[in-house]
A and B are shown apart, each in its own frame.
Chain A
Amino acid sequence: MVKFLKPNKAVIVLQGRYAGRKAVIVKSFDDGTRDRPYGHCLVAGIKKYPSKVILKDSAKKTVKKSRVKCFVKLVNYQHLMPTRYTLDVDLKDTVTVDALQTKDKKVATCKTIKQRLEERFKTGKNRWFFTKLRF
């Protein structure tokens, strides 16, 4: 009875190249659009998870290990598994549908997402989101 596919919801992508990756809903289109007449949402996710950082690592190594590679995608609701987790990262301003139009824009938005997600990862919050789903 409660809508749960809302922005900031953590979600797992089920199909496609990014199957098994965790993502956040940035914008949801419940009734679809002209081009996509089904419920779908704009999603920002992790392409490559940050690896495990241990105490022994040097500063250089930790930087390298905490890198996050991101993706932006429009995904059908059917191809998502919603979770009970949320991720409160402000992506609404940078991640928009027209960022997906050209490759340059896409790369630029991915870079900004990457920065924000890396910041979040370094604070140690939302640990579930940054751990790889094992399957």
Chain B
Amino acid sequence: MVAAKKTEETHESINNRLALVMKSGKYTLGYKTVLKSLRSSKGKLIIIANNCPPLRKSEIEYYAMLCIVGVHHYNGKLQKQLEAAGTFPPSFLHSFLCRLGLGVICFSKSLKSYIP
């Protein structure tokens, strides 16, 4: 129970930061754009959501390893991430969010969301 609480707390801070980034910074959503930003070395941080298919997740991690970009594994689904960020997922099926700004973390979310 304590563990759950702790993750919730950290979630809060990440969510807050996410919201901040989404408002003020640059980011891209989605697998293709994230790869593009990695290739052009514009991405700064990648956020990968929970329900990203594992092959894709490892691919993104490999790219990130090559260009020395941090990867953050978000503990939750993309929808939740986006809700936290304040945008509502359009018809995204998966998203990587890649943050481009300097102070802002690039989120790369990879999420295959099962829209209920």
Q: Spell out A's residues near B (CB within 8 Å).
A: 1-5, 30, 39, 77-78, 82, 84
Q: Are B44 and A39 in contact (CB under 8 A)?
A: no
Q: Spell out B's residues near A (CB within 8 Å).
A: 35, 39-41, 43-44, 63, 65-69
The 9 closest A-B pairs by CB, nearest first: A4-B66, A3-B41, A2-B67, A2-B68, A4-B67, A77-B39, A1-B68, A1-B69, A1-B41
**Most chain A beta-carbon neighbours within 10 Å: one of B44, B65, B66:** B66
Of B39, B43, B66, the contact of A39 (CB 8 Å cutoff): B39
Q: Which residue of B lies closest to A78 (CB)?
A: B35
Q: Are A84 and B65 in contact (CB under 8 A)?
A: yes
| Given A3-B67, A30-B40, A84-B66; 11 other pairs, CB 8 A cutoff | A1-B41, A1-B67, A1-B68, A2-B67, A2-B68, A4-B66, A4-B67, A39-B39, A77-B39, A78-B35, A84-B65
The answer for the CA separation of A3 and B41 in the assembled complex, in Å, is 5
B32 to chain A: closest CB distance in Å? 8
Q: Which residue of A lies closest to B38 (CB)?
A: A4
Q: Which residues of A sit under 8 angstroms from B41, Cβ to Cβ? A: 1-4
Q: Which residues of A sit under 8 angstroms from B44, Cβ to Cβ? A: 1
Q: Which residue of A lies closest to B59 (CB)?
A: A81
Q: Which residue of A lies closest to B106 (CB)?
A: A1
The answer for the CA separation of A84 and B67 in the assembled complex, in Å, is 10
Q: Which residues of A sit under 8 angstroms from B39, Cβ to Cβ? A: 5, 39, 77
The answer for the CA separation of A1 and B63 in the assembled complex, in Å, is 11
The answer for the CA separation of A32 and B44 in the assembled complex, in Å, is 23
Q: Which residues of A sit under 8 angstroms from B43, Cβ to Cβ? A: 1
The answer for the CA separation of A108 and B66 in the assembled complex, in Å, is 34
The answer for the CA separation of A98 and B64 in the assembled complex, in Å, is 33
**Most chain A beta-carbon neighbours within 10 Å: one of B40, B44, B63, B68:** B40
Q: Which residues of B sit under 8 angstroms from A3, Cβ to Cβ? A: 40-41, 67
The answer for the CA separation of A4 and B69 in the assembled complex, in Å, is 12
A19 to chain B: closest CB distance in Å? 16
**Most chain B beta-carbon neighbours within 10 Å: one of A1, A39, A77, A84:** A1
